[in-house]
């Protein structure tokens, strides 16, 4: 937090990720589960998971009926989560319950990998990379302090309820807020740019327009990016942004909110991909936006 003038700006990135929760343990020690957040069930088949067990982390594998035994139309049918289970190597329920209880949560167990061209691949880039971007923006602001007060927060529950965003916005009572998240890149073979926009890794941050985005905040972000020659693209959000902004903008007497996103390929999978150049550009854009603000009156449309 940086204390400056009476005008308060909140920078937010959520740190929760999609996961799973154990719902049942059968007599043979297999675990059944429900999703936390929005999974494409096909992604889960055959994955390793890391569960928060009673004595620490427990590794398991997600099992499914083998392809050799699937016949007829079932071979082409989409997998349902009800037909999957987790195998932790237990031989019975009692043995499994010594390590895992109903209600234990978990995530996919995959490492981070560095890729060429300044890219990384990992789970949970949605949205740890957004929280990292917020911290980078705050680091820049510490070096060149703004005339306003700034708080950076790492929210939770964005994937299921937006509860953390509500608490943060209510507690800090900001006049303006920038939510930093990821958004789906459309630079892959199956994209539809006419509907979803032209969003590319390495193309700079993505600015949302519509729904929860305050028009004057959006205009200031665009002006700042153009003035500093920061590359960016625009993505429309006619109904909702799918981010913490959907909860923040109407807290208390309203918050002038903008969304700055990092392009992300393969969202909600164990192999999300981002480019660090987009993070660097986003952090600089946010810091310069904050430094440009002098008064709350700048976000009042008259």
Residue 157's DSSP bridge partners are: none
Nearest alpha-carbon partner for 221 in 100, 145, 137, 105: 137
Interatomic CA distance for residues 85 and 162, integer angstroms:
29
Mark whether 158 is an active-site residue.
Answer: yes
Choosing from 82, 98, 136, 158, the catalytic residue is 158
Interatomic CA distance for residues 246 and 179, integer angstroms:
10
DSSP per residue, 106-121:
EEE----EEETTTEEE
**Radius of gyration of the chain, Cα coordinates, nearest whole angstrom:** 22
Strands (E), the chain: 8-14, 19-25, 31-36, 48-52, 57-63, 85-87, 105-108, 113-115, 119-122, 149-155, 176-184, 206-209, 233-236, 256-264, 272-275
- Quick check: 12 and 132 in contact, CB under 8 A? no
Active-site amino acid positions: 158
């Amino acid at each position: 937090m940086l204390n400056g003038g009476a005008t308060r700006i909140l920078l937010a990135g959520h740190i929760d990720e999609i996961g799973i929760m154990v719902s049942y343990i059968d007599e043979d020690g297999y675990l059944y589960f429900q999703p936390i957040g929005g999974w494409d069930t096909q992604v889960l088949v055959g994955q390793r998971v890391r569960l928060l067990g009673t004595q620490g982390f427990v590794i398991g594998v997600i099992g499914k009926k083998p392809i050799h035994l699937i016949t007829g139309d079932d071979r082409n049918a989409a997998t349902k989560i009800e037909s999957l289970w987790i195998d932790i190597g237990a031989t019975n329920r009692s043995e499994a319950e010594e390590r895992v209880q109903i209600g234990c949560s978990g995530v996919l167990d995959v490492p981070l990998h560095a890729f060429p061209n300044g890219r990384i691949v990992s789970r949970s880039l949605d949205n740890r990379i957004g929280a990292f971007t917020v911290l980078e923006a705050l680091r820049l602001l510490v070096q060149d302090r703004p005339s306003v007060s700034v708080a950076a927060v790492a929210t939770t529950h964005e994937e299921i309820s937006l509860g953390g965003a509500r608490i943060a916005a209510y507690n800090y009572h900001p006049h303006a807020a920038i939510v930093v998240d990821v958004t789906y890149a459309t630079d892959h073979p199956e994209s539809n740019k006419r509907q979803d926009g032209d969003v590319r890794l390495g193309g700079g941050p993505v600015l949302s327009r519509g729904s929860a985005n305050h028009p004057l905040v959006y205009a200031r972000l665009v002006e700042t990016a153009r003035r500093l020659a920061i590359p960016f693209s625009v993505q429309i959000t006619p109904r909702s942004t799918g981010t913490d902004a959907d909860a923040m903008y109407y807290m208390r007497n309203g918050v002038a909110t903008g969304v700055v996103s990092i392009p992300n390929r393969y969202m909600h999978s164990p192999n999300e991909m981002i480019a660090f150049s987009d993070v660097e550009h986003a952090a600089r854009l946010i810091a310069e936006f904050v430094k440009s603000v002098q008064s709350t009156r700048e976000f009042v449309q008259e």
